[in-house]
Amino acid sequence: MQVVGMTNEREVWIASNTEKFRLNELVIIEDEELNNPVGEVIETYALNPFIPGVDEKSSILVDQEVVASLSSLGYNLEEEMIYTAKVRILSELFYPISTGAKVRYPCFAEVEELLLKTSPDKGLALGVILGTEGLTASLPLPYRRVAPLYEKGEIKPQTGVPFIFDYRAMNNYPHIGVFGGSGSGKSFGLRVLIEELIKKRVPLLVFDPHYEMSFNEVFHPGLPDDFKETFADRCLILTVGDDTGVKFEALTPADLCNLLSAVSPITEAMENAVTSILERGDSFTTFNQRLNDLMSLLESPNDDDFKKSFMASCQNIDEKKREAYLNRLMALKKQVGQLSTLKSINWRLNRLERQGIFRDQGIRQIEEGLKAQKAVIVRGSIWMLKVYAAYVLRSLYGKRRVYRDALQKGERAEEKFPPFVVVTDEAHNFAPRGEQNVPSRREIREIAQEGRKYGVFLVLATQRPALLDDTVNAQLNTKIIFRTVRSHDLNVIREETDMGSEEIKRLPYLPSGTGFVSSPVFGRTIPIRVRAAKTSSPHQINPFDELETVDERDGEIMNIIKECLPVNASNLVDLIQRLEACGFILSQERIINYLDMMVERGEIKREENRIVGYIYRLA
């Protein structure tokens, strides 16, 4: 192998008549004056002697100067198969490499600093680096068996150098983006990243709109025993409206306005009304009562009629308190504006209350989970999580800021609050691009721009990076990019990463689970294959497999049918009554469907009778 054609300080062409070059593999160019630089193969070609006219004058994809130099270097274009590759130099050179310089493959020790920034016990083992398969035999023991692969439904041993991300470097290069279209392996890659963070006991706040982030079941029985691991004891799963919510008593007027605007945008008049009506320490009941009393006051023909009606309906309340409350209502009447303003507030408030967003326990469980260095997984619909995320992020980020600011000032902090990482899929819904009024965007923007100073970081996954807020996108220093097809998304990736045109061209055709990592931690784009997950998603089963699966209910129905055999398809009355007695209400069509399915499974047989039709019997 040797350098051919014209060279420069950034790229060279190499050729061989025996070695087939592989995308992303590393080579060493033996040019001692340049300290034997390392390069990465970014394009590969084969010049076939059986194609007519392959010579230095041929118009082919390979640089013509490369073809012209092959003959002068002793290659026989008319009789030999010649393999060529474009190589990107991975170090900074100040003058070109010599044409004709020998090229060889490295051993692991020669490229270790390029490939690894930390060890598996101190970093996140996310997969293997593509193109390093030839280095597997020379890997030291600590770097083996840390990233088994999942291919075609089977677990395969690790081949290549593991890709280990130094998460501590996020202190200098904060925030991670995980991009990829449907079926690209994005969600699988996000799961692997979360698993590694859980292993390191990094406190996580995970917003889970798909109800898939559970980590208590082994992914595959074929995983090596020393790799199998689940994380049920390190996770806390909460559902908004059931297990966690917003404590109304802790809300400020700005908090309540944000929650109301998440239901539907609010006007300036509504903001002013909320600010006037909400009093410190209000519960949902007291605020809602005051709001309804104000609406009644505005609907009343005159103030005197309302006063008489109010005083008569509140005989059990001390007279002085009634008068003070009435005076408060009269003062508020002058501040809150139109009745329509209050009705709009009331409609939004009641919708939030019906969704269960207001809970007495508030976010206490989330706080305790983070302090225990667990992964707190908050589930809910996209709409609910967008409403809730703004409040939760503002509260938790505020606690972390107060703690860090106290330390910086040399003051005694009232409460220790740990650093944490915010993780969410469908990030473009939480921080969308454009003019959409989404309260969570403001909080995510602030964390993206200033969170590093306080130890709060983001991991944002999305299928559509072009729909993600520009400010947030620009702050994602590390981007893990899986198969992406849309031109708008490819343009954003081209602008926001250091990926070259060769990698961008490959993005629409990447196999699932294969991607590129663009990060200043490495200083270049790294091609990776994500390792096998340790745990499985509830949505891992192919939904079409459900059509062939008999669940517990189906099994009970089929057992009852077998007990009633033989049965006549034209007279199923006895079987229907037996099923109803056991709690199964089925139509005749459904029962026939069960019978035919059992025939297909070989459990029973069907016989045709010219008089009564089909008769079903035990096989």
Binding residues for ATP, by number, are 180-187
Q: CA 459, 417, 171: angle at the middle one, nearest 5?
A: 45
Cβ pair 376, 240 in contact under 8 A: no
Among 496, 478, 508, 386, CA closest to 439: 386
Beta-strand relationship, 456-462 and 82-89: unpaired
Count of C-beta atoms within a 10 Å radius of residue 544: 7
Cα separation values, 522 from 34, 115, 164, 249, 479, Å: 22, 8, 11, 48, 12
Among 579, 585, 581, CA closest to 558: 579
- The side-by-side arrangement of strands in the sheet containing 604-609 is 567-568, 613-618, 604-609
Report the Cα 364 to chain-centroid distance in Å: 25
Alpha-carbon span 35 to 483, nearest angstrom:
36
> Rounded to the nearest 10 degrees, what angle do helices 339-354 and 253-263 cross at?
80
Report the Cα 504 to chain-centroid distance in Å: 21
Residue ranges at the known binding site: 180-187
**Residue in the structure block whose two tokens are 């005197």:** 304
Characterise 268 by phi-psi region: left (phi > 0), alpha (psi -120 to 50), beta (else).
alpha
* CA distance from start to end of the chain: 69
Residue 368 carries which DSSP code? Answer: H
Count of C-beta atoms within a 10 Å radius of residue 452: 19
Count of C-beta atoms within a 10 Å radius of residue 478: 22
Count of C-beta atoms within a 10 Å radius of residue 205: 21
> Rounded to the nearest 10 degrees, what angle do helices 268-277 and 319-336 cross at?
160
Cα separation values, 316 from 272, 296, 311, 321, 582, Å: 32, 20, 10, 11, 55
User: 321-328 — which CB contacts under 8 Å span 24+ positions?
Assistant: none
Beta-strand relationship, 154-156 and 162-165: unpaired
Among 532, 528, 530, 481, CA closest to 130: 528
> What proportions of the chain, in percent to the nearest 5, are helix, strand and coil?
40, 20, 40
Alpha-carbon span 441 to 462, nearest angstrom:
14
Token couple for 21: 């070059």
